[in-house]
Amino acid sequence: MLKTAEDKQSIKDEEKRVVILVLDSVGAGAAPDSAAYGDEGSNTLGHIAEQTDGFALPNLQRLGLGNILPLAGVAPTPRPAAAFGRMQEVSCGKDTTAGHWELAGTPVMAPLPTYPHGFPADVIAAFEQLIGRKTLGNKVASGTVIIDELGEEHIRTGFPIVYTSADSVFQLAAHEEIIALPQLYQMCEQARGLLVGAHGVGRVIARPFVGQPGNFRRTANRRDFSLLPPQGNLWQRLTEAGVPTVAIGKIHDIFADMDMDFSYPTVGNADGMDKLLTALDKHPHGLIWANLVDFDMLYGHRNDVEGYAAALQEFDAWLPQLLAALKPADLLLICADHGNDPTTSSTDHAREYVPLLAVGLAAAGVDLGTRATFADVGATAAEYLGAAQPLTGTSFLAEIGAR
């Protein structure tokens, strides 16, 4: 399936393809600066494995996941099928935007604004004037908790629910039968236009829900409206080099649809895995970058250890289909963007190392150690695909036997 080091010189540029697969929030243990973020002791993978009877990830074990960190039920292997390591974040933050932008070679080096006491009154007043109605909430809250708390009043008044979290986000929740999706998205676009400069949050997020009081549930029609990503990122470098680019899942939103030739939205992990296999069949060259969101959205933020464990095992069971779909010149990079330990009292993201598994070329069995930044992923992808290096990051292409 995959070429050896002896074959690497015969790989043509038009055959080369990089697949970056982000397992959203699948952290690999507290980072050295975790205490500064209130996350000391967090370990998303480790704690889930400890607290789940019969936990096993045999396919990820074969790749070398158990060689990265101690995991109950996932043993180290003497001959991993992938290169393995972990990465430390240098960005100021622990959210999706910071993690993905750093993976693309442009870390967030100045903190994006957060609002632990809600947004200033003048910001809310300006937003309400733009949308022509009042709002509810305006506080830090869990998305599921706040719709239970304010959903009935929202239905009665038609006022959307504004809330935030420990991350740099402005979230707008609305019942799909009260504020239709196009109108909710328009409100988010208006908020995005307002929240710039000093109030330039990383993301404005549409959080639609359905149901009746006592039984509200969020839908898969979420949309993220991101700040424009920094110049010099992987997407821009590939576009400048004429390399085709494909985004799957919320990647499109995180990078504001910049420098993407194709984009395929998804409605969860299963759909994301299906779309990735379809993209591998349809796009034979260039970059395919996918995000599997359910780990974070459905389980990490809800402290659902059992659900998170099941989702990891479902991904592991699907993984052989992905590996079988790879071509000889493919390089698959599996990683994460932050942690979200569901065993802690917090429902927020966690400042953690993230795992790194590289499949393809001569990567098997290579210990990549602890990478100083997530940006090494973008640097490696750019070098392999023949593009200029992103602003930050050190390629590990030489370490996995390919030049």
| Percentage with pLDDT > 70 across the chain | 97
pLDDT band at 205 (very low <50, low <70, confident <90, very high): very high
Average pLDDT over residues 15-38: 97
Q: What does the pLDDT read at residue 401? A: 79
Q: Tell me, what's the pLDDT at 402? A: 54
CATH hierarchy code of domain 5-110+227-400: 3.40.720.10
Given a cut of 90, whether residue 403 has pLDDT beyond it is no
Is pLDDT of 5 > 50?
no
Cβ-Cβ contacts under 8 Å for 164 (sequence gap 6 or more): 114, 115, 118, 119, 139, 140, 141, 170, 171
Q: Where residue 177 falls among pLDDT bands split at 50, 70, 90?
A: very high
Contact 121, 185 (CB under 8 A): no
Residues paired with residue 334 on neighbouring β-strands, in sequence order: 21, 357
Task: Give the Å distances, CA to CA, from 275 to 279, 291, 295.
Answer: 6, 11, 17
Kindly indicate the confidence band of residue 9, based on its pLDDT and cuts at 50, 70 and 90.
very low
pLDDT over 80 at 304, yes or no: yes
CATH of domain 121-225: 3.30.70.1250
Q: Where are the domains of the chain?
A: 5-110+227-400, 121-225
Quick one: tokens of 301?
A: 């933020």
Q: How confident is the model at residue 207 (pLDDT cuts 50, 70, 90)?
A: very high
Give the tens place of pLDDT for each residue, 183-199: 999 999 999 999 999 99
Query: CA 396 to CA 377: how far, in whole Å?
Result: 8
Please name every residue paired with 355 in a beta bridge, in sequence order, or none if there are none: 86
Same fold, 5-110+227-400 and 121-225: no
Q: Which of 351, 250, 362, 344 is nearest to 303 (CA)?
A: 344
Please list the residues that pair with 175 across neighbouring strands: 209
Token couple for 4: 């050896």
- 65 is written with which tokens? 């996941």
Q: Say what the pLDDT of residue 44 is.
A: 98
